[in-house]
Amino acid sequence: MGLAPYANSRVMHEDALAGGQLVLTANDVRENGAAWAMDQALARLEPLDAIMLDCDIDVIDRSQFPGAPGARAGGLPNLDFLEAAKLAAAFPKVRVIDLTEWDPLLDPTDLSALTAGGWLAEVLSGFEERP
Protein backbone atom coordinates (compact mmCIF):
# COMPACT_ATOMS: atom_id res chain seq x y z
CA MET A 1 0.00 0.00 0.00
CA GLY A 2 1.28 3.44 -0.91
CA LEU A 3 3.81 2.63 -3.60
CA ALA A 4 5.07 5.52 -5.69
CA PRO A 5 4.75 4.74 -9.41
CA TYR A 6 8.45 5.49 -9.99
CA ALA A 7 9.84 3.77 -6.87
CA ASN A 8 9.97 0.24 -8.32
CA SER A 9 10.72 -1.17 -11.74
CA ARG A 10 8.10 -2.41 -14.18
CA VAL A 11 9.46 -5.94 -13.74
CA MET A 12 9.01 -5.76 -9.96
CA HIS A 13 5.46 -4.49 -10.45
CA GLU A 14 4.62 -7.25 -12.95
CA ASP A 15 6.16 -9.90 -10.67
CA ALA A 16 4.05 -8.67 -7.75
CA LEU A 17 0.87 -8.83 -9.81
CA ALA A 18 1.78 -12.25 -11.22
CA GLY A 19 2.32 -13.49 -7.66
CA GLY A 20 -1.19 -12.44 -6.72
CA GLN A 21 -0.17 -9.45 -4.62
CA LEU A 22 -2.51 -6.52 -4.20
CA VAL A 23 -0.73 -3.37 -5.33
CA LEU A 24 -2.21 -0.08 -4.11
CA THR A 25 -0.36 3.06 -5.13
CA ALA A 26 0.01 6.29 -3.20
CA ASN A 27 -2.54 7.77 -5.62
CA ASP A 28 -5.01 4.97 -4.81
CA VAL A 29 -4.70 5.82 -1.12
CA ARG A 30 -4.98 9.57 -1.73
CA GLU A 31 -8.11 9.12 -3.85
CA ASN A 32 -9.86 6.54 -1.64
CA GLY A 33 -8.34 6.88 1.83
CA ALA A 34 -6.22 4.67 4.06
CA ALA A 35 -9.27 2.93 5.55
CA TRP A 36 -10.43 1.88 2.06
CA ALA A 37 -6.95 0.60 1.22
CA MET A 38 -6.77 -1.45 4.40
CA ASP A 39 -10.26 -2.85 3.77
CA GLN A 40 -9.04 -4.04 0.35
CA ALA A 41 -5.89 -5.60 1.77
CA LEU A 42 -7.41 -7.21 4.85
CA ALA A 43 -10.31 -8.69 2.88
CA ARG A 44 -7.78 -10.57 0.74
CA LEU A 45 -5.99 -11.83 3.85
CA GLU A 46 -9.13 -13.04 5.65
CA PRO A 47 -8.65 -16.72 4.62
CA LEU A 48 -5.23 -16.88 6.29
CA ASP A 49 -4.71 -18.21 9.80
CA ALA A 50 -1.97 -15.76 10.75
CA ILE A 51 -0.35 -12.69 9.20
CA MET A 52 3.15 -11.24 9.59
CA LEU A 53 2.94 -7.59 8.54
CA ASP A 54 5.97 -5.61 7.42
CA CYS A 55 5.40 -1.82 7.50
CA ASP A 56 7.85 -0.08 5.18
CA ILE A 57 7.81 3.47 6.50
CA ASP A 58 9.51 4.80 3.38
CA VAL A 59 6.10 5.08 1.69
CA ILE A 60 5.68 8.33 3.68
CA ASP A 61 6.47 11.51 1.78
CA ARG A 62 10.13 12.48 2.14
CA SER A 63 9.20 15.90 3.56
CA GLN A 64 7.39 14.18 6.44
CA PHE A 65 9.89 11.37 6.96
CA PRO A 66 13.45 12.35 6.01
CA GLY A 67 14.90 9.40 7.92
CA ALA A 68 13.97 6.84 5.26
CA PRO A 69 16.52 6.31 2.48
CA GLY A 70 13.80 5.17 0.07
CA ALA A 71 11.24 7.89 0.83
CA ARG A 72 10.32 10.01 -2.19
CA ALA A 73 8.44 13.21 -2.87
CA GLY A 74 4.80 12.39 -3.50
CA GLY A 75 4.61 9.64 -0.88
CA LEU A 76 1.80 9.12 1.58
CA PRO A 77 1.04 11.65 4.29
CA ASN A 78 2.23 10.32 7.64
CA LEU A 79 -1.34 10.35 8.99
CA ASP A 80 -2.43 7.86 6.30
CA PHE A 81 0.46 5.55 7.22
CA LEU A 82 -0.40 5.78 10.92
CA GLU A 83 -4.11 5.13 10.28
CA ALA A 84 -3.27 2.08 8.18
CA ALA A 85 -0.98 0.73 10.91
CA LYS A 86 -3.70 1.03 13.54
CA LEU A 87 -6.28 -0.66 11.31
CA ALA A 88 -3.88 -3.49 10.51
CA ALA A 89 -2.99 -4.02 14.16
CA ALA A 90 -6.68 -4.21 15.06
CA PHE A 91 -7.12 -7.12 12.62
CA PRO A 92 -7.05 -10.24 14.85
CA LYS A 93 -5.10 -12.40 12.39
CA VAL A 94 -2.09 -10.05 12.45
CA ARG A 95 0.26 -11.85 14.83
CA VAL A 96 3.54 -10.05 14.10
CA ILE A 97 4.09 -6.49 12.89
CA ASP A 98 7.36 -4.68 12.29
CA LEU A 99 8.64 -1.34 11.05
CA THR A 100 11.35 -1.16 8.40
CA GLU A 101 13.18 1.26 6.11
CA TRP A 102 14.15 3.79 8.79
CA ASP A 103 17.64 5.16 9.42
CA PRO A 104 17.55 7.54 12.42
CA LEU A 105 20.97 8.96 11.52
CA LEU A 106 19.52 10.54 8.37
CA ASP A 107 17.24 12.86 10.35
CA PRO A 108 18.87 15.17 12.90
CA THR A 109 15.52 16.94 13.47
CA ASP A 110 13.89 13.90 15.15
CA LEU A 111 10.80 14.27 12.94
CA SER A 112 11.25 10.69 11.77
CA ALA A 113 11.72 9.40 15.32
CA LEU A 114 8.51 11.13 16.41
CA THR A 115 6.63 9.60 13.48
CA ALA A 116 8.04 6.14 14.22
CA GLY A 117 6.98 6.60 17.84
CA GLY A 118 3.52 7.53 16.59
CA TRP A 119 3.49 4.32 14.55
CA LEU A 120 4.20 2.30 17.70
CA ALA A 121 1.44 4.10 19.60
CA GLU A 122 -1.06 3.46 16.79
CA VAL A 123 -0.10 -0.23 16.59
CA LEU A 124 -0.59 -0.64 20.34
CA SER A 125 -3.91 1.19 20.09
CA GLY A 126 -4.98 -1.15 17.29
CA PHE A 127 -4.05 -4.21 19.36
CA GLU A 128 -6.09 -2.80 22.24
CA GLU A 129 -9.18 -2.46 20.01
CA ARG A 130 -9.24 -6.15 19.14
CA PRO A 131 -12.34 -8.08 20.19
Q: Where are the domains of the chain?
A: 10-128
Superfamily of domain 10-128: Ureohydrolase domain (3.40.800.10)
Q: What tens digit of pLDDT does each residue of 36-90 get?
A: 999 999 999 999 999 999 999 999 999 999 999 999 999 999 999 999 999 999 9
pLDDT at 16: 84
Amino acid at 42: L
pLDDT at 5: 67
Of the candidates 69, 56, 59, 62, the one whose C-alpha atom is nearest the C-alpha of residue 100 is 56
Output the pTM of the full model: 0.92
pLDDT at 3: 73
